[in-house]
Amino acid sequence: MLPPPDKITSNLPVLQKVVDVYKIWHAHYSHFPRLSKFSLGAKIDSLFTDVIELIFLAGYAGADQKYTFVVRASTKLDLLKFFMQAAWEVKCLDQRKYAALAVPLNDIGKDIGSWQKYLQTKQPPSKG
């Protein structure tokens, strides 16, 4: 049985950070231009939930699987940041909204990168 949600995120600070940024995104998503809401907006929303899921899974994975989940979360986060920038470039997000999302996403990227490096030093990933 899993612990309550607040207990889960307190054990994984990076998970709480992503959930907090997702809450900001969710507020902006409802005001996304209709033309892009169900394409670019839906893609960003899906990537957010993918990152949350992968970080969650990494937190509970065994030592042999943890690194794989962290690498996948990092890749999805990079895609998320790419599509977020695209949304800003096509004016679906103004500068203020984009900054409110991009700055914490960069910090989350640093956290995930540190986690990945830690796992590499702890147990190098198997090749093959």
Q: What structural domains does the chain harbor?
A: 13-122 (1.20.1440.60)
Would you say the C-alpha torsion 71, 72, 75, 76 has a positive or negative sign?
A: negative
Q: Is the pTM of this model over 0.85?
A: yes
- What pLDDT shows up at residue 3? 62
Nearest 5 degrees, angle CA 72-CA 84-CA 49? 45
Average pLDDT over residues 43-51: 98
Average pLDDT over residues 85-93: 98
- What pLDDT shows up at residue 14? 97
| Number of Cβ within a 10 Å radius of residue 121 | 7
Q: Flag whether pLDDT at 125 surpasses 80.
A: no
- What pLDDT shows up at residue 123? 72
pLDDT tens digits along 1-42: 656 656 555 679 999 999 999 999 999 999 999 999 999 999
Tokens 């989940």 correspond to what residue? 69
Coil, strand or helix at 2: coil
Q: Flag whether pLDDT at 124 surpasses 60.
A: no
CA gap 36, 40 in Å, rounded? 5
Type and span of the H or E element at 91 = none
| Number of Cβ within a 10 Å radius of residue 70 | 25
CA gap 47, 73 in Å, rounded? 10
Provide the token pair at 64: 């042999």
- DSSP tag of 127: -
- What pLDDT shows up at residue 2? 57
Provide the token pair at 109: 């990227």
